[in-house]
Structure 1
Amino acid sequence: MIETVQDFLASWYPWIKALHIVAVITWMAGIFYLPRLFVYHVEGYQKRGVEAGSETDLMFQHQERLLLRAIMNPSMIAVWIFGLCLVFTPGIVVWSTLWPWTKAAGVLAMTWYHHWLGKRRKDFVKGTNRFTGRQYRMMNEVPTVVLLVIVFSVVLKF
């Protein structure tokens, strides 16, 4: 049974890798855009007098919910599924080297960040957001650093 799965993964490796890359791109697009929406949402409150429950507030909440649920969540799940398929493909990962561990740490960090964004979205829904636009801008740098760790780990295989 295990050999059959490994044979399947090996023969479908290019397709699985391509689907993994597409899923990463769509996930990262959402990861970068959602905090930007939060910045505009917060600054709408602060600079434009947008009130909680107003039409503008509800529009932001709708956009944030759709981005998270329709794009980011499915993309993250696909990244994990195709990534694990790659991990179990024979000859792809050499666990005695450092790179798979740094990549795994990066993927876990990105997954944590994804869930952190999901909690912040719920704060907007409840009207309890406590972060400023500047803080969301700063937090938007986190995925860039994590992305660099992941990409350099995979490409350089140190």
Structure 2
Amino acid sequence: MSWLLIYKALHIAFMVAWFAGIFYLPRLFVYHAQTQSAEVDAQFKVMERRLLYFVTPFAILTAVFGALLIHSYGSAWFAASHWLHVKLLLVAMLYAYHGYCFKLLADFKHNRNKRSARFYRFFNEAPVLVLFAVVLLAVVKPF
């Protein structure tokens, strides 16, 4: 068994775990934005914080094992893999999305949320579209 396959398996596993949280957190934001109850508001604040802090290490480990994969394949492969450059740009957008979730979390924590549940419904769909593009690029390698 090669290290490359271990890195690849761990990269995929941590990515799946990360995305489970990234898909669920904005859904919590949808419901949180709709609540009028102080008790429910407090419960959402706890759930959102715990979820975001739980999945953040998965995001970090996804990057670590992705970097190990790139390193294992080598710089010549990296230079020739133009599909990977596009994938990495999309992945950078996902990390920015993840970071923005911390800002949204802080807004809810300090009762500063000004966004509607509708905004969060659309916000919830963005990583799905990017994930489809990333997976297609990684599997098809179109250029």
Shorter-chain TM-score: what band? over 0.9
CA positional deviation for 1:91: 5.3
Q: Which residue of 1 is the match for residue 11 of structure 2?
A: 20
Indicate the structure with greater helix content: 2
CA positional deviation for 1:95: 2.2
Q: Which residue of 2 is the match for residue 154 of structure 1?
A: 138
| CA distance in structure 2 between the partners assigned to 1:151 and 1:11 by the alignment | 23
| CA distance in structure 2 between the partners assigned to 1:89 and 1:122 by the alignment | 38
Corresponding position: 1:97 with 2:88: no
Aligned with 2:64 (options 71, 81, 84): 81
Higher CA-based Rg: 1
Amino acid at match of 1:32: F
Q: Structure 1, residues 82-122: CA drift from partner, whole Å, max 9, x if none?
A: 00000100359442232111110111010000011111011
Query: Percent of aligned pairs with the same residue?
Result: 38
TM-score norm. by structure 1 comes to: 0.84
| CA distance in structure 1 between the partners assigned to 2:73 and 2:104 by the alignment | 39
| CA distance in structure 1 between the partners assigned to 2:58 and 2:97 by the alignment | 14
| CA distance in structure 2 between the partners assigned to 1:108 and 1:20 by the alignment | 15
Corresponding position: 1:40 with 2:40: no
Q: Which residue of 1 is the match for residue 46 of structure 2?
A: 62
Q: Secondary structure at the match of 2:80?
A: coil
CA positional deviation for 1:59: 0.8
Aligned with 1:128 (options 102, 112, 135): 112
Q: Secondary structure at the match of 1:113?
A: helix
| CA distance in structure 2 between the partners assigned to 1:26 and 1:16 by the alignment | 15
* Contact map agreement 2:70 2:78 (CA 8 A) in 1: no
How many residue pairs match? The answer is 141
Where do 5+ consecutive residues of structure 1 fail to align? 1-9
TM-score norm. by structure 2 comes to: 0.93
